[in-house]
Structure 1
Amino acid sequence: MKLNFKCAVLLTAASLLGGCATTATTQKDMSDFRAHMPRSILVLPPVNDSLDIKAAYSVWSGVTVPIAEAGYYVFPMAVVDSMFKENGVHSGAEAQNIPAKKLQEIFGADAALYIRIKQYGASYQVLQSVSTVAAEAKLIDLKTGTLLWSGSKSLSQSSNNGDSGLIGALVGAVIDQVSNSLSDRSYPLANQVNMMMYTPTPSRPGTGLLYGPRSPQYQQDVPTK
């Protein structure tokens, strides 16, 4: 009986412990994106559905790099944040409820990126601590309201206490949970989620943005007829 219990524990630990888990993606029709190709993108403050108050700024701060590297002008986060706050807009929900044409009038951007954070932070499980970041986003043409692109990504990182025995794994998970709360280990995961979600992937249309007008690879992913 004790042996069976030990085997069950080890099997459970093996199924739980691991590296990173990501969501699957499928190819999408990118014709509207190509027809309304933006030169500039306004990244709006994210809507935060998680329980971690740090989530919005952690995710938002890492969006600029992959989008700029993809070939678009991205309005600086600090400028956007300051402008919204000076005009009484203090949350992602408020910012994302502003009509598209109004945003275009204020910022002069071609498109806006609407981000919703579904999950952010660490959770404690029996034998491990798991940090997870999950987000979804959509790119909207501000002049026409056309949906140009949408995507989602989830990434999890578990602690690795599998070689410490049952007691060691339990103690290690508690220590790791405290460490997570002090150092915010979800932040680097958020950066990885951003890179994976927005970086163009020509071989799998729709898994990232298209290359923008500022990229040397612009229009190289247009299908040949």
Structure 2
Amino acid sequence: MTLSRFFRMGACSALLLTLAACATPTQAPDYTAFRSAKPRSILILPPVNHTHDVNASNGLVAQMTQPLAEGGYYVVPVTVEMETFRQNGLDTPDDIAQVSAPKLQSIFGADAALYTTVTAYGSVYHVVSSDTVVTASTKLIDLKTGSVLWSGTGTASGRDLGDRPAAGGGVIGMLVSAAVNQAVNNLTDESFRVSRITAERLLRVGPPDGLLYGPRSVKYGTD
């Protein structure tokens, strides 16, 4: 066997291994605790904000009810929840996250709660590009036992909205496009719109690794 043929065979083998790895299906999480708990109602705690944008927590939590409700769950009204916390002297997501699971269960009567962290929220501006990114992670906690039933992550950007103007004209066009995108974001609060897509991806319901369908869904018990 010639040396060149040996290298060609090695390259082909590496390519086949790469394709095989890419084709590996997403491994489903362990739903044993989730199925045992059978949560019917969910409390959405205000996300803890690990970004520099003070609007991150409110911007994301406002978008989180819909995907859960559409997935078949009763969601404790966020406005009622926040007013209850405020009357008890809890005004920040960090303080609220420290309340014990049994205490939350006794106050709101919910079966489970979502503990969420926002790690990216807002515009990212580079020399020749600008985008808006919202990223978060969450855990669904059983309020009776404190155990983790499910966890997920979600991210989206302004490009996912599909209404960005195309850049043209080389570097100058890219610079102009970046400046326009930045101005549009400042005027329309694009982060809030991107949060909707992030919430949908974060709280996806169904296989292969999303939340199980809730009791109000016609698909309840099929996953």
Q: For this structure pair, what is the TM-score category when the shorter chain's length is used for normalisation?
A: 0.7 to 0.9
Q: Distance in 2 between matches of 1:176 and 1:195?
A: 23
> Which digits, 9 at most, give the CA deviation of each residue in 1:13-57, with x for residues without a partner?
xxxxxxxxxxxx752111111111111100001101111111111
Q: Distance in 1 between matches of 2:63 and 2:49?
A: 15
CA RMSD of aligned residues (A): 1.6
1:182 aligned counterpart, secondary structure: helix
Residue 125 (structure 1) aligns with = 126
Cα deviation, residue 174, structure 1: 1.6
- After TM superposition, the score normalised by the length of structure 1 is 0.82
> Which digits, 9 at most, give the CA deviation of each residue in 1:103-127, with x for residues without a partner?
0111111111101001000111121
Cα deviation, residue 141, structure 1: 0.4
Query: Who wins on radius of gyration, i.e. which is larger?
Result: 2
Q: Deviation above 4 Å: which 4+ runs of structure 1? A: 158-161
Q: CA 1:89 to 1:129, structure 2 compared with 1: closer, same or farther past 3 Å? A: same
Cα deviation, residue 147, structure 1: 0.4
Q: Distance in 2 between matches of 1:106 and 1:141?
A: 15
1:113 aligned counterpart, secondary structure: strand
Matched positions, count: 195
Q: Which moved more, 1:210-219 or 1:151-160?
A: 151-160
1:38 aligned counterpart, secondary structure: coil
Higher-helix-fraction structure: 2
Amino acid at match of 1:123: V
Query: Are residues 1:157 and 2:158 paired?
Result: yes
Cα deviation, residue 179, structure 1: 2.1
Structure 2 unaligned runs (5+)? 1-25
Structure 1 unaligned runs (5+)? 1-24
Residue 60 (structure 1) aligns with = 61
Residue 192 (structure 2) aligns with = 187
1:187 aligned counterpart, secondary structure: helix
Amino acid at match of 1:93: D
Amino acid at match of 2:142: D
Q: Distance in 1 between matches of 2:215 and 2:86?
A: 31
Cα deviation, residue 87, structure 1: 1.1
Quick one: higher RCO (CA 8 Å, sep 6+), 1 or 2?
1
Q: CA 1:51 to 1:26, structure 2 compared with 1: closer, same or farther past 3 Å? A: farther
Residue 14 (structure 1) aligns with = none
Cα deviation, residue 173, structure 1: 1.1
Contact 1:161 1:168 in 2 (8 A): no
